[in-house]
């Protein structure tokens, strides 16, 4: 057997501890499969005295993670600190500069600096591996980059944020409103005290930007991701979705269009019979559509210490076994120059919900606004009558251009009989 692979782990939060537990408990298994032992030689975290339930007596302890990354007796640095910049970035840059392989679960950092770091790893002849950065334990990076390597992809999309999916699932199942369910999720530890990272789509946007780079061989383009969260989703919309045969999911979607690569994170109406509609609670799923393979669906746990550690271990074993793939599937110099498609040019169908005063002529005014912007209505539901009071009106449109839809919504919002801002949810056709 070859000599052991010596690794250093930077960051001992839940994923860091989970990774150490995996490498300890599965040490024999991993050694047999990798052809050599994987040994944790050094760790770094803020508080040495905290009891993490793991024995660290045999490893070198660094207060300074960046100093650890420069330790000459280390082959691989595993960065599990988090954050797009600061110490995490310092650790990775130092490791690469010292020709050490890097494994990271850091989506924010990869979304911000992925292309530059990939170029640096390539230059130094080492791996930059990040299976754990997208969709936790689901092997989506390896699948896109290695298994579907013979395919041109048309679209990649998925449920990339478990917190949002949990909230939407619970709202539907329990009949409760967003704020109440969010509060409960916070109590249960499924949502952070400051939940905006998850529920405003930021986390999903990071993951989508990375996925899109791998799927389409294009530099990471986080700024090109249109991002919208789930705060404005109400019970009323969830009920109407059911009635129309849809389910509301926060999706990240990257799609090739005539305008270039479209990248967007927003709530979607998805047909109830499509596989992704059935992915509930904290589970994540990713769907890839290739020209030869057709549709491939991967589902599993998108977060958590152990699933994420499973992906870290996968990257470590590839490095231990000498299996190398370029970070984004091709050398950085060969990444595509395909432009990004602006959201205003997006084409799709739309669900619109209005709260209107129930009086004659309202629907005619709304219909006129749509007609003036050349938006074609597909269906209209006006449920219940309450003369003189507010009632919901739901419209769905045929495929139209986002910019036209927005102009029509501005006109509709300005109507005196429309008493709340219109709600718009894009309908995704699978």
Query: Which residues of the shown chain bind a second copy in the complex (CB under 8 A)?
Result: 18, 22-23, 26, 29-30, 32-34, 131, 137-139, 142-143, 146-152, 217, 275, 278, 290-301, 304, 306-307, 309-314, 316-318, 321-325, 329-331, 334
Helix axes 27-34 and 305-320, enclosed angle (nearest 10): 40
118 vs 325: CA distance, rounded Å:
11
Minimum CB–partner distance for residue 22 and a second copy (Å)? 5
Task: Name the residue nearer to a second copy (CB basis): 79 or 299.
Answer: 299
Minimum CB–partner distance for residue 408 and a second copy (Å)? 36
Question: Are 206 and 111 in contact, with CB atoms under 8 Å apart?
Answer: yes
171 vs 50: CA distance, rounded Å:
38
39 vs 74: CA distance, rounded Å:
10
For residue 330, give every residue at least 6 positions away whose Cβ sits within 8 Å of its Cβ, in sequence order, or none. Answer: 217
Question: Are 4 and 36 in contact, with CB atoms under 8 Å apart?
Answer: yes
Task: Name the residue nearer to a second copy (CB basis): 197 or 430.
Answer: 430
211-223 b/e with 16+ CB inside 10 Å = b?
A: bbbbbbbbbbbbe
Q: Which two tokens stand for residue 185?
A: 């999720």
Task: Name the residue nearer to a second copy (CB basis): 115 or 311.
Answer: 311
Minimum CB–partner distance for residue 290 and a second copy (Å)? 7
Task: Name the residue nearer to a second copy (CB basis): 23 or 225.
Answer: 23
CB neighbour class for 120 (10 Å; exposed up to 12, middle 13-18, buried from 19): buried
For residue 264, give every residue at least 6 positions away whose Cβ sits within 8 Å of its Cβ, in sequence order, or none. Answer: 208, 225, 226, 227, 228, 252, 253, 343, 346
Task: Name the residue nearer to a second copy (CB basis): 306 or 430.
Answer: 306
Positions marked active-site: 207
Task: Name the residue nearer to a second copy (CB basis): 216 or 226.
Answer: 216
Question: Are 142 and 314 in contact, with CB atoms under 8 Å apart?
Answer: yes
Minimum CB–partner distance for residue 293 and a second copy (Å)? 4
Minimum CB–partner distance for residue 251 and a second copy (Å)? 17
Quick one: which H or E segment has residue 430? Answer: none
Minimum CB–partner distance for residue 1 and a second copy (Å)? 10
């Amino acid at each position: 057997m070859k000599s052991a692979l010596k690794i250093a782990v930077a960051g001992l939060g839940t994923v860091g501890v989970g990774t150490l537990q995996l490498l300890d408990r599965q040490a024999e298994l991993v050694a047999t499969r990798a052809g050599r032992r994987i040994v944790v030689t050094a760790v770094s975290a803020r508080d040495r005295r905290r009891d993490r339930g793991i024995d660290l007596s045999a490893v070198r302890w660094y207060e300074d993670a960046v100093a650890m990354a420069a330790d000459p007796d280390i082959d691989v640095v595993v960065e599990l600190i988090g954050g797009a910049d600061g110490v995490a970035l310092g650790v990775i840059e130092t490791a690469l500069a010292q020709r050490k392989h890097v494994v990271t679960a850091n989506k924010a950092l990869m979304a911000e600096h992925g292309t530059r770091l990939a170029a640096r790893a390539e230059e130094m002849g080492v791996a930059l591996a990040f299976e754990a950065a997208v969709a936790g334990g689901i092997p989506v990076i390896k699948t896109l980059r290695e298994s579907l390597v013979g395919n041109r992809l048309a679209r990649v999309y998925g449920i990339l944020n478990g917190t949002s999916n949990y909230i939407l699932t619970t709202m539907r199942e329990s009949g409760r409103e967003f704020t109440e369910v969010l509060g409960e999720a916070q109590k249960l530890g499924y949502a952070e005290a400051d939940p905006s990272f998850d529920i405003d789509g930021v986390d999903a946007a990071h993951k989508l930007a990375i996925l899109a780079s791998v799927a389409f061989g294009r530099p990471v383009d986080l700024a090109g991701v249109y991002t919208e969260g789930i705060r404005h989703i109400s019970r009323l919309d969830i009920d109407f979705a059911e009635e129309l045969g849809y389910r509301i999911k926060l999706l990240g979607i990257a799609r090739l269009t005539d305008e270039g690569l479209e990248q967007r994170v927003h709530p979607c109406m998805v047909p109830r019979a499509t596989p992704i509609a059935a992915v509930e609670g904290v589970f994540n799923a990713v769907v890839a559509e290739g020209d030869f393979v057709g549709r491939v669906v991967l589902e599993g746990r998108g977060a958590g210490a152990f699933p994420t550690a499973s992906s870290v271990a996968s990257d470590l074993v590839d490095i231990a076994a000498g299996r190398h793939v370029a970070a984004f599937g091709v050398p950085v110099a060969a990444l595509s120059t395909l432009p990004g498609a602006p959201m205003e040019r997006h084409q799709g169908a739309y669900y619109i919900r209005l709260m209107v005063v129930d009086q004659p002529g309202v629907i005619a005014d709304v219909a006129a606004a749509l007609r003036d912007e050349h938006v074609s209505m597909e269906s209209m539901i006006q449920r219940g009558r309450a003369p003189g009071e507010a009632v919901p009106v739901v419209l769905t449109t045929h495929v139209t251009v986002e910019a036209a839809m927005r102009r029509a919504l501005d006109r509709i919002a300005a109507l005196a009989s429309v008493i709340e801002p219109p709600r718009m949810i894009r309908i995704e056709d699978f």
